[in-house]
Amino acid sequence: MRGPHNIWRLIRTGATFERTGAMGVALDAMQAPRNVRAAARVLGWPFRWLGYRGDPSLPPVTRAITALGPAYIKFGQILSTRPDVVGVELANQLSYLQDKLPPFPTDQARQMIEADLGRPVAGLFSEFSDPVAAASIAQVHRARLADGGRDVAVKVLRPGINAAFARDIDAFHFGANMIEMLSPATRRLRPRDVVAHFEGVVNGELDLRLEAASASLFAENTREDARFQVPAPQWNLCSRRVLTSDWAEGIPLGNVAAIRAAGHDTEALAERILQLFLSHALRDGFFHGDMHQGNLKVAPNGDLIAYDFGIMGEIDEYTRRIYAEILMGFIRRDYDMLAKVHFEAGYVPRDRDPAAFARALRAVGEPIFGADASQISMANLLGYLFEVTERFGMQTRTELILLQRTMVVVEGVARSLDPNLNIWKAARPVVEDYIKANLGPRALISDGQQIARTLQRAMPLMPRLLEDAIWRARHGSAQVERPQRDRFSWRSAAIGAAATAALSLALTALG
What's the rounded Cα separation, in Å, for the pair 303 and 293? 15
What's the rounded Cα separation, in Å, for the pair 399 and 427? 21
- Bridge partners of 141, per DSSP, are 131, 154
Please list, in sequence order, all residues whose beta carbon lies within 8 angstroms of the beta carbon of residue 219, skipping any fewer than 6 positions away: 230, 232
Active site residue 290: yes
- 8 Å CB contact between 329 and 338: yes
- 8 Å CB contact between 361 and 393: no
Phi, psi of 42 (to 5 degrees): -65, -40
- 8 Å CB contact between 154 and 242: yes
Nearest to 365 by CA among 339, 330, 407, 322: 330
- DSSP classification of residue 285: S
DSSP 231-277: PPB-GGG--SSEEEEE---SEETT-HHHHHHTT--HHHHHHHHHHHH
- Locate all alpha helices (DSSP H) within 81-229, ordered by sequence: 83-86, 88-95, 106-117, 121-124, 161-182, 191-205, 208-221
- 8 Å CB contact between 220 and 205: no
Phi-psi bin for 21: left (phi > 0), alpha (psi -120 to 50), beta?
left
What's the rounded Cα separation, in Å, for the pair 135 and 158? 9
- 8 Å CB contact between 42 and 12: no
Exposed, middle or buried, 147 (CB in 10 Å: 0-12/13-18/19+)? exposed
Active-site residue identified among 84, 290, 308, 418: 290
- DSSP classification of residue 222: T
What's the rounded Cα separation, in Å, for the pair 486 and 478? 20
CA atoms within 13 A on the CB side of 411: 22
Q: Report which secondary-structure segment, H or E, holds 151.
A: strand 151-157
- Locate all alpha helices (DSSP H) within 396-475, ordered by sequence: 398-417, 423-439, 441-458, 462-475
Nearest to 456 by CA among 420, 500, 511, 400: 500
Please list, in sequence order, all residues whose beta carbon lies within 8 angstroms of the beta carbon of residue 499, skipping any fewer than 6 positions away: 455, 459, 462
Q: Which residues are part of the catalytic machinery? A: 290
